Amino acid sequence: MCEVQLKDDERYQKYEDYINISIAMSYSCNLRCSYCFQQKNKNLNRRVISEDYLEKIFAKIIELQDRYHKTVDINLFGGEPFLPKNEEIINKIFDFALKRGCYISAVSNGIFLPYYAKKLIIYKNIISSIATTINSTPDDYKNSKKITKVANNPEKLALIVGLLLKHGVQISVGTNVDKLNINELPNLLKFFEEQGFLKNEKFNWRIGRVDDRFYDSNYPYILTESDILAKLQTLSPLPGNVTAAFMQTSANLAQKLGFLFGQQQLKGEFSYCWALSPYNQIYYVDNDLKLFRCTVTVGREELAIGNLENTAIQENNVQLESYLDFDKCKSCKIGGFCSGGCKVSRNIDFNRQCNYERKAFDKFIDNILLPKVKELTNEI
């Protein structure tokens, strides 16, 4: 595997002593979104994590703090973490975080945010971010719901987001972009402006994309990252609290052109994503203490990297890869910009993921890079 030279850069240094432990306390979810990479898995264990296992996670966090001097962010993950049946476990996590000086974050579909609103407001000083999803404007919601099955009503979500922001809770709203809603981005921008969100320093809009890493969702509306990046160009300049969360293959070139739109992922020059990067230290632990490094693999037992009790996560042992590790990639016309592509997709269907990444890169060159070069050339 390739060797990676760590960068002497503030963006990377600040993550050196920071680690995120995401607890998938249960794989239960109240929704079945059509593009979801997790909930169609019939082998998911949907019981709530036991107190014994939770205490073992706490013990590991204490070790990370006291022995390895890590700043720990405990992320509530799932399934849907804010199900009412998880409240007892969530109470214990909040109490532990307060006593041990940890931060709390969460990834939620938002439906039960009103149920937990009081708790989130009380603990706002240790909350780093509560992330939820709004994929459409209220006007387009009914049409979008028919296909995506995403039943979190944007109008209701906007009300609870506004309430939490009013009380000082850090909120990150994500939009999963596909062919159905990419043209809704200008309207969503206007919707968030009208709500007053974009002027609130506690608010962040993260624009991501729908994908199908396992090629098992058969979701027909997937776009490339370059399609979305080109759309964002038409909305530029965007407020500083609007960030892109989807760029992989085009990221290095986009950074040089100033088109990253605040992407927070530190994937490294030779890494396809943060899960194969030495920078972001993010680990998922589930209700059986299985450990995962990649978001989309959570719940797939065969893709676990170990168990919390026998894996030295504090050493951040990441398997680094580049396109030079794969014979099929060495003569690739895009010169390794995708770093071999997504490891999950590559292991399932190498040619399919290769064709996808090349398509994304070609679109970036034709629709973004070349027009920018022509623009700069005319200015000289």
CA dist list (Å): 220 to 100, 176, 179, 223: 46, 14, 9, 9
State both tokens at 9. 């850069």
For 202-239, how does the pLDDT look when each residue is reduced to its tens digit (9 = 90+)? 999 999 999 999 998 888 999 999 999 999 999 989 99
Is pTM beyond 0.75? Reply is yes
Cβ–Cβ < 8 Å for 209, 241: no
pLDDT grade for 5, boundaries at 50, 70 and 90:
very low
- Asked whether residue 55 carries a pLDDT value surpassing 50, the answer given is yes
Higher pLDDT: 154 or 317? It is 154
Percent of the chain whose predicted confidence (pLDDT) is above 90: 66
For 148-173, how does the pLDDT look when each residue is reduced to its tens digit (9 = 90+)? 888 899 999 999 999 999 999 999 99
State the DSSP string of 319-374.
----GGG-GGGTT-TTTTTTTT--HHHHHH-HHHHHHHHHHHHHHHIIIIIHHHHH
